[in-house]
Amino acid sequence: MGHLAALAGAAAGLGVSLGILLGTPGRTLTRPLPALFPFAKLSLSVDGLSAYFLLVISLVAVAAAIYGPAYLRAHSPDAGRARQAAQVFGLNVFLGCMTFVCCAGDALTFLLCWEGMTLASYVLVVSDDTDGENARAGLLYMVMAHGGTALLLVAFLSLTERGGAFDFAALRTAARGMDSTTRTTLFFLALGGFATKAGVVPLHVWLPRAHPAAPSHVSALMSGVMLKVAIYGILRFAFDLLAPAEGPLPPSWGWTVLILGATSAVLGVLYALQQHDLKRLLAFHSVENIGIILMGVGLAMILWRQEGAGGQLATVALAAALLHTINHAAFKGLLFLGAGSVLCRTHTRNMEELGGLARRMPWTAGLFLLGAVAISALPPLNGFVSEWLTFQALLGGAGRFHGPAALVIVISAAMLALTGGLAAACFVKAFGVTFLGRPRTAHAEHATEAPPSMIAAMACLGAVCVALGVAPGYAMRLLDAPTIAMLHGPGASAVVTARGPLVLSTAPALSGTPATAISMTMVAALLIALAAMSWILRRGARRWAPRAAPTWTCGMSPTPRFDYTATAFAKPLRLVFAALYHPRREVIRETAGTPYVVRRIQYAGEIVDLAETQIYHRIEREISAFSRAIRARSTGRIYGYIGFVLGALFVALLLFGVRRG
């Protein structure tokens, strides 16, 4: 019943969001909530931006609700009914809080639902803990999430104090009277809070631990949807709550977001390449794709309210970011569901222990391959379209600037190109090692296909990937409402149109064939190539009789040890980027009494996340040392505790007096 309720809620969300997005531009639905507090009125408000992110949430929620029941039965058949009921209840709370965050009409509703989203996802992360690892991942997630929430709380309360109310209309009015320094300070506070939840480098350390720990359909929601709620918050603050009444946004906003996005995209895919845990690999790719989205958002901030083609370029950049938001939700949800199917049938996430699953799980393999092609930005699927638009915006934006600014944008475009190539290499490894070759363990040898409902859920998201890739022009209509609401200009379909080429006289880099035409051309070329290959193979089969022969392996019988491993596949890149990875390895040789006869070689390797070791471990050591010093000086002494309390009270009163003055 719990999954059925989630499905019904998701269907209702789809209806509401499509009604706003396909209706009259500028339409807003507002509903008051029960008065729970005497000092604030709670409300829900759905405008174009809220409706678009509600669509993203509902789309993946439909697939998760279909996928969940069979997954929980297959993955943890021995789990008690109480634990499964808690997981289903947590799933519904998680979905409801994400929905209300995007539909909040005031700061208090936003913050309460934001905290509810964090707590519900934490419960889901630690709900399937057997060895304590999930508990550690959940603790790290809670610490990082609440650090980000503290920054958001400061930003919202500062606006609330100036506006005298919690509703967003009062906050907009308060922001109009701010000086540029105060506005920029509040933006960066909010950016820090949202970037923590989005997993932006270097605030990403919780993500590759927490996402794999959750049930796979919850991982799909956390990676494909929850991170986008943070993107919604950045857009709401930048283009709505803190936007000046006239003129462009402060330049530091857009350049910071653009650089953070480019850095996250490259580092995310580089760390993903070295992962052998299938779900951890997908989690790092979420860091990469959040970076790609932020590149479009940052460029839109830079170009907004500029004269001439700059305004149209801002629309292209924001449309690319929004389109990649729903594209990533679709293909990342599909990939996490595919990884969950592999996990529930093999009970392992280590790719080195898999192999040969394409014969045993053909539907899962085919749908995972579809998602891998989409996330690699290869035509004719949806990842190509949004990254193509991001390229167009970056190259067109480079022509609007000169000197260092133009160089930064060109380097960002080069980093996006590098990201696409590395992502393709990463998923060649992920698909090949997991589904091709021979089974490496008994788990893979005896795997069977996933239940039909799990296949149906993956097929739904796969259909979205195909539809948005083959005919993205029809999706541009969905982008009109959010782009008009944020940029107060023409909608995306008026600038990025499927009916003709996008030609801007001052930005020749944008001239060319629209995304729909490219995708349809690629589909036609692919069909022609497949038909030609089929004809050649059929003709060859008639001319030459098939002949079966064993593979020549120097006289030895081929075994799974002959197949390429994930470690070997990624080794060249590990050597190239050794300064980034800081690889650690240990080789143990077992000999037969003489060093010249080696019986067995054991190899263990580890990749170090520099952000974790160089930033967080140092902070942890400093805090631990400070805590030990306090404990050594105050334990058992009442005067010490009283002194700390009085000191904290004095500092609080001092800060309050300075603020009031």
Q: Are residues 318 and 363 in the same domain?
A: yes
Are 590 and 459 part of one and the same domain? no
Letter for the amino acid at 559?
T
- 630 in any annotated domain: yes
452 and 594 in a single domain? The answer is no
Q: How confident is the model at residue 546 (pLDDT cuts 50, 70, 90)?
A: low
| Contact (CB, 8 A) for 83 and 35 | no
Distance CA 199, CA 264 (A): 9
Q: Do 218 and 291 sit in the same domain of this protein? A: yes
Helices (H) and strands (E) in the chain, counts: 27, 4
Asked if 368 and 468 sit in the same domain, the reply is yes
**What is the total count of domains within the chain?**
3
Q: How confident is the model at residue 307 (pLDDT cuts 50, 70, 90)?
A: low
Q: Which residue has the higher pLDDT, 482 or 558?
A: 482
Is the pLDDT score of 505 beyond 50?
A: no
Q: What is the mean pLDDT of residues 191-215?
A: 89
Tell whether 598 and 642 lie within a shared domain.
Answer: no
Q: Are residues 580 and 629 in the same domain?
A: no
Rounded Cα distance between 622 and 616, Å, is: 10
Of 441, 468, 496, the residue at which a domain comes to its end is 496
- Do 63 and 139 lie in one domain? The reply is yes
Residue 331 within any structural domain of the chain: yes
Report the pLDDT value the prediction gives residue 235, as an integer from 0 to 100: 94
For residue 624, what are the domain limits? 615-660
The confidence score (pLDDT) of residue 138 equals 86
Residue 477 has pLDDT above 90, yes or no: no
Instruction: Give the model's pLDDT for residue 493.
Output: 79
Say if residue 501's pLDDT is above 60.
Answer: no
Element (H, E) at 556: none
The SS3 of residue 57 is helix
pLDDT digits (tens, 9 = 90+) for 8-46: 999 999 999 999 988 877 788 888 888 777 777 888 899
Average pLDDT over residues 158-177: 87
Q: Place 518 in a pLDDT band, splitting at 50, 70 and 90.
A: low
Q: Hey, which residues does 37 pair with through a beta bridge?
A: 40
Does 579 share its domain with 460?
Answer: no
pLDDT at 231: 95
Mean pLDDT of 113-141: 85
| Statement to judge: residues 461 and 396 lie in one domain | yes
Q: Could you tell me if 242 and 209 lie in one domain?
A: yes
Neighbours of 22 (CB within 10 A): 12
Q: Which of 218-222, 381-385, 497-501, 546-550 has the lowest mean pLDDT?
A: 497-501
Q: Within a domain: residue 637?
A: yes
Q: How confident is the model at residue 243 (pLDDT cuts 50, 70, 90)?
A: confident
CB 146 within 8 A of CB 118: yes
Q: How confident is the model at residue 506 (pLDDT cuts 50, 70, 90)?
A: very low
The overall average pLDDT reported for the chain is 83
Plot region of 28 (φ>0 → left; ψ -120 to 50 → alpha; else → beta): beta
Same domain, 48 and 79: yes
Residue 235 domain-assigned?
Answer: yes
